[in-house]
Each structure stands twice: as C-alpha cells, then as structure tokens.
Amino acid sequence: MHRRRHYIYPDTQTLVNAFVCEVNKFIRQADKPENSLHIAISGGNTPLAVFDQICRSTRKEDWSNVHLYWVDERCVPWDHDESNYGNARLRFIEPMELPADQIHPINGEAEPGKEADRYAAMLAEHIPFEKGVPVFDWIWLGLGSDGHTASIFPDQLELWGSDRSCVVTTHPETGQNRISLTGGVINAARRISFLVTGKSKAHVVNQIVMKEGNYLEYPAFYVTPQTNYLEWYLDMEATSWM
C-alpha cells in the first residue's frame, strides 16, 4: 500500500505559491549540491502558473545544478502555441536565463518514432539508472479530465507498461502525435507530484482516490511510485467531490 499525501488549497494561486515553496526548498536542500538534479515537467497549463510564480519571486534559488526534462511533448514545432517546451522556454527558461546545457527538450518536429528513441537514449546518457530505468529526482505530473497523465491516454493504456522509456502516442480527439515517458520511468522517480486544478478533474480524482467507477481505465491510476510515496497538490475545485 503506498502512502499518498493530499495537499488541498482554496484556489489555484495558493496551490501554486505552496508548490513553488516546495520547489525552492527542494533545490536548496538538494542532497547533492555538487551534482545535478534531474526534474521532468509535464505540459499543459498548471506548470506554466508555477513558472510564472518562480519568475515573480524576488528571491530566486540557484538553479545552476538543475536539469529540466519533459514528461511529454506534442509533435509540433517549438514556436507552436501547444509546444510544452516552447511555452516553458517563453515563461521560464528565458526569463530565468537557464543555460541551454541544462535544458533537455523533446523535439516536436522530428520524426516521432526516431525522437522517442533519441530521447530515451539521451536519458540513458544523462540520468542515473536503477533496475534498467532512468531515475528522475522529481517528476511533476498533470491529470487530464479523461484520466490521462503524461501523454498516455486511456485508449492506449498498454503504452503505460511499455518497456521503452519513451513512446509515441496519439491524442484520442485531435489525432495529434505526442511523445511521452512511460509508467516504468515515471514510477521510478524519487519524488512524484500531481498538480491538479479545476472542477473538470474532480470526477477523475474522486474515482482514482476512492477506486470507484472507471478508475482502472485511467493511466493516472497506475502512478504507483516505487518509493511508495505520492503527492497530490489539489485546489478545492478539483476536490469538489469531497
């Protein structure tokens, strides 16, 4: 039985402020100041609010040993408004002036299958491996209102269990190709945090937490960290079922 910690906040901004405090504490207390911290971030809107808050902070932490990776990416050019890396670059990387050698984006314009393989190989080269998978220090996950996480969707649940670190997936509504980390890599991370806001997610959060309804169809249900510890950062709207 793994331990789950629910942090519930009255609104999104309060959640973001609290999460940024955690990020700053994590970086300050890194138990390996001389080595790198490897953090993988998801796309969507919630991380952007985190980036904005970090950039607004008057007292910024030293990010010089933090390496950023992506949990998933849409197969679009980086200047496309749906690009996870493109949005992070605009809202975080450039304002914080993070050096390019600390940033490891997925190339949304490359041939998806080849890029998934390249990214997996890059992870193998840059990130400590344990039991055959790369082990991130922290992974930030979002949750879709259909129960997806990363870019593993319910209609491609089998990809969660792939033995590859990275796979090509397809958005069920738009048909857009995505490149996504898989469950083995996600669950191996030393720390995993879900950041979930909004009423549209409440029904899925409820089903996953209470193991009710269609929870077995939701990729997010299979986030079962090897550390046996999982954090949910939720705003009140996302828990409106409670």
The gap from C-alpha 39 to its chain's centroid, in whole angstroms, comes to 9
Q: Which is nearer to ligand 6PG, 33 or 44 (CB)?
A: 44
Q: Which is nearer to ligand 6PG, 151 or 177 (CB)?
A: 151
Q: Which is nearer to ligand 6PG, 108 or 184 (CB)?
A: 108
Residue from 15, 43, 67, 106 binding ligand 6PG (CB under 6 A): 43
Cβ 169 to ligand 6PG shortest distance, Å: 10
Which stretches within 169-236 are classed as H helix? Answer: 183-188, 202-210
Contact (CB, 8 A) for 37 and 67: yes
Residue 44 within binding range of ligand 6PG, rule CB under 6 A: yes
**CA quadruple 151, 115, 124, 97: dihedral sign:** negative
**CA quadruple 81, 101, 152, 54: dihedral sign:** negative
Residue 154 within binding range of ligand 6PG, rule CB under 6 A: no
* 213 token code pair: 């309804």
Residue from 27, 37, 42, 134 binding ligand 6PG (CB under 6 A): 42
- DSSP label at residue 231: E
Residue 46 within binding range of ligand 6PG, rule CB under 6 A: yes
Which residues in this chain contact ligand 6PG in the complex, by CB under 6 A? 42-46, 71-72, 84, 142-144, 148-151
